[in-house]
């Protein structure tokens, strides 16, 4: 039975919602979230930097924080 349960993937909506919220909160608090067997979320700060385009334009990019996800999972293909 439990196999069947898993097979049909009965994922609870409350769980998904909570998952999103908790991760969002943690990420916004600059916490690193590590999930064994899946990967880790981390916020990386990027200072402002100059970006050079091939056409000669040079653009100053504003600083930004980005979410970085690192995973040990590789495609089996």
Partner 1 sequence: MKIDKENLIGLLADKTGMSRDEIEEQLEQLIKRIVDAAERGKALEIKEFGLFYFDDEGTLRFDPSEELSTEINFKYAGMEPIELKASRDTSPPPVQEEEEVELDDDPFAGLDDLTSGTKAQQSEELEPTEPEEENPFEKIQERENDPFSGLLGDASSKMNEEVEIDEEEDEEFIEPIPKKEPQKRVSPKKPGKKKKSSDPITTIIIVILVFVFIAGGYFIYNEFFQNPEPPEPESTVTQSDDSAPVEEEPPTVLQPLEPEAENEVIEPEPEPESVNENESLYGLMGSVSDAANDGFSIVVHSFGREEQARNAAANLSSEGYRVLVSSRTVQGNETWRVSLGQFPTIADAQENASELPSPYNTENFIQRIQTN
At its nearest, how many Å lie between partner 1 and the CB of residue 40? 9
The Cα 73–Cα 38 span in angstroms is: 7
At its nearest, how many Å lie between partner 1 and the CB of residue 74? 5
Residue appearing with tokens 């409350």:
14
- The footprint of partner 1 (CB under 8 A) covers 6, 8-29, 31-39, 41, 43, 49-69, 71, 73-77
At its nearest, how many Å lie between partner 1 and the CB of residue 1? 14
- Give yes or no for a contact between 37 and 10, defined as CB atoms under 8 angstroms apart: no
Tokens of 39: 């990967």
């Amino acid at each position: 039975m439990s196999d069947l349960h898993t097979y049909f993937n009965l994922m609870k909506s409350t769980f998904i919602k909570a998952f999103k919220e908790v991760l969002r909160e943690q990420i916004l608090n600059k916490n690193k979230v590590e999930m064994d067997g899946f990967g880790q979320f981390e916020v990386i700060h990027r200072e402002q930097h100059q970006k050079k385009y091939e056409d000669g334009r040079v653009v100053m990019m504003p600083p930004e924080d980005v979410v970085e996800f690192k995973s040990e999972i590789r495609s089996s293909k």
